[in-house]
Amino acid sequence: MATAVITGSARGIGAAIALRLAQDGYDIALNDISEAMFEDNDIVERIKANGVLCEYFVADVSNYSQCEQMVKDIKAKFGTIDVLVNNAGITRDGLLARMSEESFDTVIAVNQKSVFNMTKFAGSVMMKQRSGRIINLSSVAGLWGNAGQFNYSASKAAIVGMTKTVAKELGSRGITCNAVAPGFISTPMTDKLNDAQKEAILRMIAMRRYGTVEEISGVVSFLASKDASYVTGQVIEISGGLSM
Ligand code: NAD
């Protein structure tokens, strides 16, 4: 049985990706920042209902040694790592002039350094297997910029560069690396926006609605599938036509 690792998967887009990959037949290694994220949460049971193995691993993906240990633990438990989805991410929004150093550093560490940490360790397992799929969560903010998200846009643009570099470095080992760049998707992350912000955003979206987490997980499922075996180094925007 093949194994998929999804970071930041106790809720939101990560949980939807984990569920979809379970439906596709993968055993699932969930990850999130704390034990508390899995308390009063039926995600493990919902995944297991698909007849696959599922276990959660608590680790801070911005922490290099915690990622090294987590990848070792997942490999020991599941035997292989076939799909890595670098999904964990945070926002600390604010205009550049008022952005603290701590807010910049934290977002870069969680959104960007995590991709280095996890791809280095899980990528090494995939290289020995001579196969693997790596799928990174970028954002339209990383492609087009977004006022109030200097730190977040920087981290999500970096993901584009890292995605293409990994595709070039690991392609000859049978490993693909792609990114998806969601627009505005209904999750706890976007619930934080106020009504005026939500209304202004809707006016910019050709489809005049927010996306659903399933509309992200479906594309991730495709990128992990056999049908995408010759797709690498690409960034697929999933935004309902936001950037046109
Ligand atoms: P979310 O806040 O609902 O979920 C993110 C998950 O990551 C949470 O469970 C959180 O606990 C976990 N996490 C945070 N820091 C972590 C850490 N250091 N280690 C491990 N886990 C950690 O957010 P979401 O909307 O589901 O976003 C998922 C991904 O999609 C993020 O990378 C985000 O930037 C990206 N994205 C979201 C949207 C959107 O509209 N929601 C748009 C574009 C991109």
Residue 62, both tokens: 């911005």
Percent share of the chain, pLDDT over 90:
94
135, amino acid identity: I
> Can you give the pLDDT at residue 240?
98
Bridge partner residues of 177 (DSSP)? 134
* C-alpha of 64 from chain center: 17
Mutate to test the pocket of ligand 1, among 17, 19, 20, 32 (most ligand atoms within 8 A of CB): 32
Could you tell me the distance, in angstroms and rounded to a whole number, from the CA of residue 8 to the centre of ligand 1?
A: 6
> Can you give the pLDDT at residue 53?
98
Q: Can you give the pTM of this predicted structure?
A: 0.98
Nearest CA to ligand 1 atom 31: 89
CA distances from 5 to 15, 47, 103, 202, 216 (A): 11, 13, 27, 33, 16
Residue 83 phi, psi (nearest 5): -135, 130
Could you tell me the distance, in angstroms and rounded to a whole number, from the CA of residue 138 to the centre of ligand 1?
A: 11
What 141-144 contacts at long range (C-beta under 8 Å, 24+ apart), as own/partner pairs, is 142/181, 143/181, 143/235, 143/237, 143/243, 144/243
pLDDT per position as a tens digit, 176-227: 999 999 999 998 878 888 999 889 999 999 999 999 999 999 999 999 999 9
Could you tell me the distance, in angstroms and rounded to a whole number, from the CA of residue 217 to the centre of ligand 1?
A: 13
Catalytic residues, by residue number, are: 152
Mutate to test the pocket of ligand 1, among 67, 187, 193 (most ligand atoms within 8 A of CB): 187
Separation CA 176–CA 170 (nearest Å): 7
Q: Among 116, 3, 9, 107, which residue's Cα sits nearest to residue 58?
A: 9
pLDDT per position as a tens digit, 121-172: 999 999 999 999 999 999 999 999 999 999 999 999 999 999 999 999 999 9
Ligand 1 atom nearest to 61, measured from its CA: 19
Q: Contact, 131 vs 142, CB < 8 A?
A: no
Separation CA 125–CA 205 (nearest Å): 40
